Amino acid sequence: MNRDEPSTRTTASDDSSDARVVVTTTHMSNGPDAIARLPDGRVAFVFGAAPDETVEVRILSDHGSYVRAHVTSILEPAADRRDPPCRHARDGVCGGCPWQHLTDARQHAEKEALIRREAARHLPGVTVHPILTPLPPFGYRRRARFGHRDGRVGYRTRGTHSLFAIEQCPILHPDLEAALPSVRLAVRNRPSGNVDAMLFPDGRVRVGDEAAPFAQPSADAEAALVALVLAALPERPVRVVELFAGAGTFTVPMLTRGHRVDAYEGDRATVARLRDTAPKARAFQVNLLKADRGPTDLLHFGDADCVVLDPPRAGALPCIDAIARTGAQTVIYVSCDPMTLFRDLKGLTAAGYDVESVQPVDAFPQTPHVETVAVCRRRVATLQG
């Protein structure tokens, strides 16, 4: 079967406004849904489906060129389907881990396939390495954001703003999960809202402002990303311009290796924290994603040997020209969104860089999220004639 043209058939329903459609899925999207096609050829994003299975679905919303649907019946289950280990995921209440119904091996394969598809579409021929899987499938999160209201602590119900209380969450590190009563106690007299909690290396769980922002949810994933960045930098000390530096995830290890770092970050409080944790770096507060820069308001980072950037999901498109103006021989791009990553990598190639390699990392098991580290080298000019 052509994976881009799954088989489809419709089934009659007594209520024409609630017609069911039977589709065969192909692969997972860059999100919680599996991909299928309707009889008319339109794409269907199907929540609750696994790749390579036949399911009956109900269409929830029609967006013209595509629809969103959810599974009403599994007719031919995929070999890689499993019962979600978390009861909240099984009940369909929590949308935080929408890939729990896939085996861990299939999750890894789907994330790697996503990166390979995007690479082939935007940068044919670029080297994509097999996905790294540095984490256990559960118990890996040292940091989480909870909603709280009237003494209840939990997550938002999928697709709504409603809060449901949790007593357990299997993706949390066991010590963070065990601290849920302390989180409830900490927010007891606070107005409704969100609260962060983080497990620190000393074993203490800190709640609220003391929970470190801009930290990877997993220490092991952070270590893997740091190792990839350091491996792509020269061994000799060089000048590095770091963009979207956060509180120093990469800054501190680069300084430890002897590199000179100019770190740029947009959040005032985070820059203050960065200056405390990495006093040897030069830290600058700059809105790197300002969209209305004019000819006299360009980003300037000075000269650099290397640029390291770790932008939010929006990517770093406003920074691409400024990165090229640094003259950096190496650009290391850490991304949490494949779509904006490859858009920006195309911009870097147009600005004189070749993408040497792309390394996906599964830093968020049970979710569709994937981290990627791309290494770019400045293209060597060739003389003509």
Rounded to 10 degrees, the C-alpha dihedral 203/209/211/212 comes to -130
What residues contact residue 224 under an 8 Å CB cut-off, 6+ apart?
Answer: 132, 134, 361, 363
Measured distance CA(314)–CA(297) in Å, rounded: 21
Number of C-alpha atoms within 13 angstroms, CB side, residue 237?
7
Backbone angles phi, psi at 352, to 5 degrees: 110, 15
Handedness of CA 143, 148, 152, 158 (dihedral sign): negative
What whole-number distance in Å separates Cα of residue 169 and Cα of residue 158? 15
Interatomic CA distance for residues 51 and 77, integer angstroms: 9
Note whether 281 and 258 are within 8 A (CB).
no
Strand ranges of the sheet holding 163-165, from the earlier edge strand across to the other edge? 163-165, 152-156, 143-149, 193-199, 205-207
- In degrees and rounded to multiples of 5, residue 344 shows phi and psi of -70, -35
Q: Under a CB-based contact definition with an 8 Å cutoff, are residues 99 and 329 in contact?
A: no
- Nearest by Cα to 281 from 322, 248, 305, 319: 248
Contacts of 299 (CB under 8 A, 6+ apart): 286, 288, 293, 318, 319, 321, 322
Annotation marks residue 336 as catalytic: yes
Q: Which residue is catalytic, options 86, 94, 97, 336? A: 336
Q: How far is CA 344 from the centre of its chain?
A: 16
b (16+ CB within 10 A) / e for 18-42: eebbbbbbbbbebebbbbbbbeeee
> Which residues belong to the active site?
336
